[in-house]
A and B are shown apart, each in its own frame.
Chain A
Amino acid sequence: MEADNATVVVAREVTRRYGEGETAVDALRGVSVEVPRGKLTAVMGPSGSGKSTLMHILAGLDKPTSGSVAIAGKEITTLSDSDLTKLRREHIGFVFQFFNLLPMLDAGENITLPLSIAGEKPDPGYYDQLVAAVGLGDRLSHRPAELSGGQQQRVAIARALVSRPDVVFADEPTGNLDSHTGHEILELLRHSVEQLGQTIVMVTHEARAAAIADRVLYLADGLIVRELAGATQHEINEAMEEIAQA
Chain B
Amino acid sequence: MPVTQLSQQRKFAQRRYVLSGIVVVVAAIYLLKIFFMQVVSDKYKILSDSNVRRVVTIYPARGLILDRKGRKLVANEEAYDLMVIPRQVQNLDTAELCRLLDIDRKTFEARMKKAKDFSRYKASPFVEQIDKETYGFLQEKMYKFQGFYVQNRTLRKYPFPVAAHTLGYVGEVNPGEIAADPYYKMGDYIGKSGLEKFYETQLRGVKGEKIVLVDVFNREKGSFENGKYDKPQKPGLDLETSIDLDLQLLGEKLMQNKRGSIVALEPATGEILAIVSSPAYDPNLLVGRVRGANFNKLSRDPLKPLFNRAIQATYSPGSTFKLINALVGLQTSAITRDSRFSCQGKGSVPIACSHSHYSPLELIGAIEQSCNPYFWGVFRTTLQKTSEGDIHKGYNIWRNHVMSLGFGQAFESDIPNQAKGNIPSSNYYDRYFGPKGWNSLTIRSLSIGQGEILVTPLQLANQAAVIANRGYYFPPHVVRKINGVPTKWPRKQSSIDPRHFETIIEGMYEVFQGASGTARWYRLENIEACGKTGTVQNPHGKDHSLFIAFAPAQKPTIAIAVVVENAGFGATWAVPIASLMMEQYLTGEVKRTELLEKMSNANLL
- Our verdict on whether A and B bind, yes or no, reads no
